[in-house]
Every structure is written in structure tokens, then in C-alpha cells.
Amino acid sequence: MDRIAIFASGTGTNARKIIEYFEEHEDVEVALVVSNKVSAPVLSMAKEFGIECLVISRMQFYETKEVLHVLSEQEITFIVLAGFLWLIPPYLIANFPNRIVNIHPALLPAFGGRGMYGMNVHRAVKTAGVNKTGITIHYVNERYDEGAVVFQASCPVQASDSPESIAKRVQKLEHEYFPSVIENLLLGNERK
Ligand code: GRF
């Protein structure tokens, strides 16, 4: 049995899709949601599903290993970042080697790195005038958006698109692919 912790600090639409996808799953369970924002809508959503939640402060995250203790108490085997903006500290990466993935709303390495999140990404895509964008699911290392790519899917960008319409198209891809890519990673890993 794999037990997933989702780290999220925003609305949590991806978190919801992942939770719903694994609700009746035999081998995978979403067991914990971790957030750095006590008011994040993702927390109330997770609670509706009866999922354990943990709110962390910057100090706790970077200067203690409390999160690690909770993860091990909860027997978490895999971490999914879905709208979590803090850099993951080395102690967490070391304890979850190739067991942390993130989703980025563009085709990395383009439009990645510090400050490239949310609408900033889609505005940059629009300004650059590229004709396609998409999603990247990648392993997480100590640097923003630089871990090995696991999966990408793309969609067109038209001249008439606004950053908002690009965001909508990209979000559709996220919701469509993220849960099943996680499932494939987990089931593939189990077979090793
Ligand atoms: C998504 O766009 C994801 O790519 C990014 O953060 C956003 C989270 O959105 N890393 P939501 O909270 O899941 O709606």
C-alpha cells in the first residue's frame, strides 16, 4: 500500500482530483495534506474527505524535522507537490529519494525557476509569443523546477489567447493527467 502526502497551499483543485482518483483505490491512498497556509481552501476540502491535515510554519519546515516525524508516523511513502511554493529542504529529499513529484504549469525547462508560478507563468508564455505550452510532472530536487522530467503534455497557444485562457487550458491538462501519472509511477515502483 502506498500512502501519499499532498503538499499544497492554494485552492487545491489538483489535490481534489488526486484525492478523488484514489478514493476507492486498492493500492494507493491519500493519507495526509500538508500546507503552509492555515486559510488555504485545500485544507477544508481535504477535511471534507476525512483526510488528516498538517499546517507548517517556515521555522518548523526548515529548522526542525517535525514534518519528517509526522510523515513517518503516517507511514507516508510518496509526496506530491500540487501548488506548494516552498523549496523542499535537503532532509526531506534525502528521506524520499525519487519519491517526491511536482507539477509545473509549463513545458520545463521553459518558464520555470524561482518566481515562475501561477499566473506569472502564463503571462510569461503570452509575452514570449510561443505557440504551445503545457504541463510538466517532474521529480523534486533542491532547486526549483530542475528535477528529472517524468511526464509532459502540451496544448496550443493562439494569438488570441489571454494569460487566463492559457491557464484554463493548462489546468485541464493537469486535472486530466496528474492522478494517473502518479498511479503509474507508484505501480511501476512497486514492481521493481
Ligand atoms: C497548479 O497550476 C500547479 O501546476 C502549480 O500550482 C497550481 C496549483 O493549483 N504547481 P491548484 O491549487 O491545484 O488549483
Å from CA of 82 to ligand 1 middle: 5
Least confident of 40-49, 98-107, 181-190: 181-190
Distance, first Cα to last Cα, the chain:
14
Strands 149-156 vs 132-139: parallel, antiparallel or unpaired = antiparallel
Å from CA of 97 to ligand 1 middle: 23
For ligand 1, atom 7, which residue shows the shortest CA distance? Answer: 83
Report pLDDT digits (tens) over 67-98.
999 999 999 999 999 999 899 999 999 999 99
Å from CA of 9 to ligand 1 middle: 9
The answer to whether residue 173 scores a pLDDT higher than 60 is yes
Percentage above 90 pLDDT, the chain: 92
Report pLDDT digits (tens) over 2-56.
999 999 999 999 999 999 999 999 999 999 999 999 999 999 999 999 999 999 9
Q: What number is the average pLDDT over the span 92-120?
A: 95
The answer to whether residue 192 scores a pLDDT higher than 70 is no
Closest ligand 1 atom, residue 170 Cα? 2
For ligand 1, atom 5, which residue shows the shortest CA distance? Answer: 83
Known catalytic residue at 175: no
Residue 48, C-beta contacts closer than 8 angstroms, at least 6 positions apart:
none
Q: How confident is the model at residue 188 (pLDDT cuts 50, 70, 90)?
A: confident
Q: Which of 69, 104, 138, 175 is catalytic?
A: 104
Where do we find the cell 499566473?
A: 119
DSSP state string for the chain: -EEEEEE--S--HHHHHHHHHHTT-SSEEEEEEEES-TT-HHHHHHHHTT-EEEE--HHHHHH--HHHHHHHHTT--EEEESS--SPPPHHHHHHSTT-EEEEESS-TTTT-STT--THHHHHHHHHHT-SEEEEEEEE--SSTT-SPEEEEEEEE--TT--HHHHHHHHHHHHHHHHHHHHHHHHHHHHH-
